[in-house]
Copies of this chain bind each other. A is one copy, B any other.
Amino acid sequence: MTSNIPEVVILRLPLYARVLRGLADRGEDVVSSQRLGDLLHSTPAQIRKDLSYFGRFGKQGRGYRVDHLLRELRQIMGLERQWSVILVGVGQLGKAILTYGGFAPQGFHVVAAFDSDQSLVGTSVGSLTVQASGELAETVKQHQPQLAIVAVPGHACQSVVDMVVRAGIKGILNYAPHQAQVPEGVWVRDIDPVGALQSITYYLKPNGS
């Protein structure tokens, strides 16, 4: 049931979950594909098509049950369990990531942090002690984290990603301004603030639509 689903649909699922959570928090029980489309800046037809990949959630003309759909989507996305994450790069951005309160409530727990800067190794950030990058492979072997967040400068990105992949990690969130190459079966998502700004400026030009 969950094979051959286009990646672009998978990429939209977190947004569905976020919007449904908002509806649930406001006490709404049922939502139409029209309303979901409005909230997701998409068409009702697209919403119905996306959700049809995962089974039959809606009843014709009655909309979707918010709590049911949210629970099912979270199950499908693997969000009903806890995930262990390592962080590589404890500069200003890495520190912001470690003190960001948004990960843990969603089941993502940063369990170790690494930096190649010896002056940072051994220092405490939040509840973690920064480890040397050389210890990464051994720590991954011991604690089996599933995900890595990479917050290093662009020039260091590929070698850090290579190290993380060699250690056996299959999912990487990359904050570095560099598109890392990874082997088949490893998933990378880029945090790309410049790209995000660039996708706005098109609309702000005098001749933008």
Contact = CB atoms under 8 A, between A and B. Distances in A.
Interface string A70-114: 000000111100010100000111011101101100101000000
A161 to B, nearest CB: 14
Contacts of A205: 78
Contact of A4 (B83, B195, B209): B209
A151 to B, nearest CB: 9
B204 A78 contact: yes
Nearest to A22: B179
Interface in A1-51: 2-5, 7, 10-11, 13-15, 17-19, 22, 41
Given A179-B18, A205-B78, A189 B200 contact: yes
A173 interface: yes
A168 to B, nearest CB: 12
B77 A14 contact: no
A61 interface: no
A127 interface: no
Nearest to A11: B199
A198 B14 contact: yes
Contacts of A203: 10, 170-171, 187
Given A193-B191, A194-B103, A195-B14, A79 B19 contact: no
A152 interface: no
Interface of A: 2-5, 7, 10-11, 13-15, 17-19, 22, 41, 76-79, 83, 85, 91-93, 95-97, 99-100, 102-103, 106, 108, 146-147, 149, 154, 170-173, 177, 179, 187, 189, 191-205, 207-209
19 contacts: A2-B209, A3-B209, A10-B203, A14-B199, A15-B195, A18-B192, A19-B179, A83-B201, A83-B204, A85-B197, A92-B92, A92-B95, A93-B96, A95-B96, A103-B194, A146-B204, A147-B204, A173-B200, A191-B196
The 7 closest A-B CB pairs, nearest first, are: A14-B195, A189-B196, A171-B200, A78-B201, A14-B198, A78-B205, A92-B96
